[in-house]
Amino acid sequence: MIKNTYLSIAAIALIATACEPSNTTSNEEEQETTSTRDSDWIDLFDGESTRGWSSYNQEGIGEAWKVSDGVLHFDASAGKGGDLVTDEVYSDFHLELEWKISENGNSGILFYVQETEEYSAPYHTGPEMQILDNDGHPDAKITKHRSGDLYDLIESSEEASNPVGEWNKSEIISQNGKLDFYLNGVHTVSTTMWDDQWNEMVANSKFKNWEGFGKYQEGKIALQDHGDDVWFRNIRIKKL
């Protein structure tokens, strides 16, 4: 009788195990989802060349832009550079990249840039996420001109940049008019573009007389040549 009881218990346990849902499918689905998410990203910098970029309103790339060891470097001592712009145009997007700035340096990441003869520089049309040595550059004394700010429009929610010589990670997300900046994981800016409040904000900024500034809902990504050494790497974008 005891032997039969043990057999019955073992049989029940075997049936229960067989009826339990398998984690194999869910794990495979999770891996597939992760792979799909990763495949949505487009590398804007291959780590070996400036393929996919050109100097603004020019053919080719200025000699000051150099590539070495997976890093895109603007070498201010190496002659002409010019602002770099992507060959492609983007509307809703999620942009990620890493950067580091030189001592007392200044640069920026611009978006919705219009590359036409009508505009002589990317900043005539494209809003900017500021890149700056907050400890050394004079612009750091101006509100809305510090790293992580929406340049001259919105001040960062908090200080998030790393010191000179250290890498920083920036993210710009623009979707359906909603604009968000992240710097080193900190949500520094959140606003809505192209509505009445946006237009009023632009009208009260240094861009007030620039008819094309902040008006376009698609355009190119630009990396700024501000005359100071700056380094970029791991530049990628996702269309939303």
59's CB contacts (< 8 A; 6+ apart) are none
Coil, strand, or helix at residue 187?
strand
Length of the chain: 240
Neighbours of 168 (CB within 10 A): 18
CA geometry: angle 61, 64, 65, nearest 5 deg: 55
pLDDT at 29: 55
Which CA distances in Å does 190 have to 37, 63, 181, 216, 224? 24, 36, 7, 18, 22
pLDDT at 7: 38
CA distance 136 to 192: 31
Residue type present at position 47: G
Backbone angles phi, psi at 33, to 5 degrees: -65, -45
pLDDT at 30: 55
Question: Residues 68-86: pLDDT tens digits?
Answer: 999 999 999 998 899 999 9
Residue type present at position 130: Q
Question: Residues 105-139: pLDDT tens digits?
Answer: 999 999 999 999 999 999 999 999 999 999 999 99
pLDDT at 196: 98
pLDDT at 35: 44
**What parts of the chain have a pLDDT lower than 70?**
1-37
CA distance 170 to 235: 10
By the 8 A CB rule, do 132 and 103 touch? no
pLDDT at 25: 52
Q: What is the pTM of this model?
A: 0.85
